[in-house]
Amino acid sequence: MGSSAFVNSVIRLVKASRSYGSPPVTALDAVSLSINRGEFVAITGPSGSGKSTLLNLLGGLDHPTSGEVIVDEIHLESAWDHELTLYRRLKLGIVFQFFNLLPSMSVVENVEMPLLLRGDPHHGIRVSALEILGLVGMTHRANHFPHQLSGGEMQRAAIARALVHTPSLLLADEPTGNLDSENASQVLEVMAKIASRRTTTVIMVTHSDSVAALADRRIRIADGHIV
Ligand code: ADP
Ligand code: MG
């Protein structure tokens, strides 16, 4: 891969831009960025500045209009749909503001989903799901259904689901944006604990300065630019 400066760099954006519509609205404007393996990065910035657009590009949920988005040496900007599907299944965990748990499944069944999708043998799945629920402090809610949980518990279940397949990258888009302060602090504690293990690169969008202060690095975005 050439340049040794990027050996540890798990993520690289090279002049990545994304614009929408016509006349075009530029959500992200030629952003270049490298993030190392195991780094805990907080992304802050005002509403509408391009934070979710950036995360969507990193998650292979959206393509840049121009430029490159490289994760673990996979060029997401030119990857085929099936490559992106595999990327998301094998390497990526995503946590959204609105949990997105499947309501008809118990917590442990929700957490098992990524392992089922990946095609893991059935016998190990329950053990792995319960182990990761332990990490987020949710063992006692394993057999509950989403509607029986607090917001913070739902988000911790969603974090467990995002981590169960040991992704190399965890993306979280305002994971506490829909929580009261007590639930938010529980979720942040879990995020910080995960990041401190250094097994997963964590990129989290947040509005909170105190949260951003926990991260290794803080990236501020305004008007589609890094500032
Ligand atoms: P943030 O997450 O920082 O609030 P976004 O990345 O969601 O910001 O949006 C950045 C800009 O791109 C905003 O001006 C927004 O209106 C625009 N935008 C985002 N998604 C779309 C879309 N699907 N179609 C048109 N404009 C969009
Ligand atoms: Mg957003």
Say how many Å lie between the CA of residue 48 and the centre of ligand 2. 7
* Spatial distance between the Cα atoms of 192 and 214, rounded to a whole number of angstroms: 7
Residue 51 included in any domain? yes
**117-137 mean pLDDT:** 94
Residues flanking ion ligand 2, Cβ below 5 Å: 51-52
Residue 11 included in any domain? no
Amino acid identity of 72?
D
Task: Tell me: pLDDT of 9 over 80.
Answer: no
Nearest atom in ligand 1 to 56's CA: 6
Residue 2 included in any domain? no
Q: What is the pLDDT of residue 209?
A: 80
Look at strands 92-95 and 201-205 and give their pairing.
unpaired
Residue 86 included in any domain? yes
Q: What is the pLDDT of residue 124?
A: 92
Tell me how far CA of residue 131 lies from CA of 25, 112, 185, in angstroms: 44, 11, 22
**91-110 mean pLDDT:** 95
Q: What is the pLDDT of residue 207?
A: 84
* Spatial distance between the Cα atoms of 94 and 96, rounded to a whole number of angstroms: 7
Residue 165 included in any domain? yes
Backbone angles phi, psi at 10, to 5 degrees: -80, -25
Residue 8 pLDDT level (bands cut at 50, 70, 90): low
Does ligand 1 come within 6 angstroms of the Cβ of 20? yes
Backbone angles phi, psi at 97, to 5 degrees: -65, -35
Residue 178 included in any domain? yes
Residue 160 pLDDT level (bands cut at 50, 70, 90): very high
pLDDT, tens digit, 9 for 90 and up, residues 55-65: 999 999 999 99
pLDDT, tens digit, 9 for 90 and up, residues 41-51: 999 999 999 99
Domain CATH number, residue 189? 3.40.50.300
The mean of the pLDDT values for the chain is 92
Q: What is the pLDDT of residue 210?
A: 78
**Cβ contacts of residue 35 below 8 Å, gap of 6+?**
9, 10, 11, 12, 41, 201, 203, 217
Amino acid identity of 200?
T
Q: What is the pLDDT of residue 171?
A: 97
Say how many Å lie between the CA of residue 50 and the centre of ligand 1. 6
Domain of residue 111, residue span: 39-61+80-226
Residue 6 pLDDT level (bands cut at 50, 70, 90): very low
pLDDT, tens digit, 9 for 90 and up, residues 165-182: 999 999 999 999 999 999
**84-95 mean pLDDT:** 95
Q: Which residue has the tokens 């099936």?
A: 82
Residue 124 included in any domain? yes
Q: What is the pLDDT of residue 3?
A: 45
Question: How many domains does the structure of the chain reveal?
Answer: 1
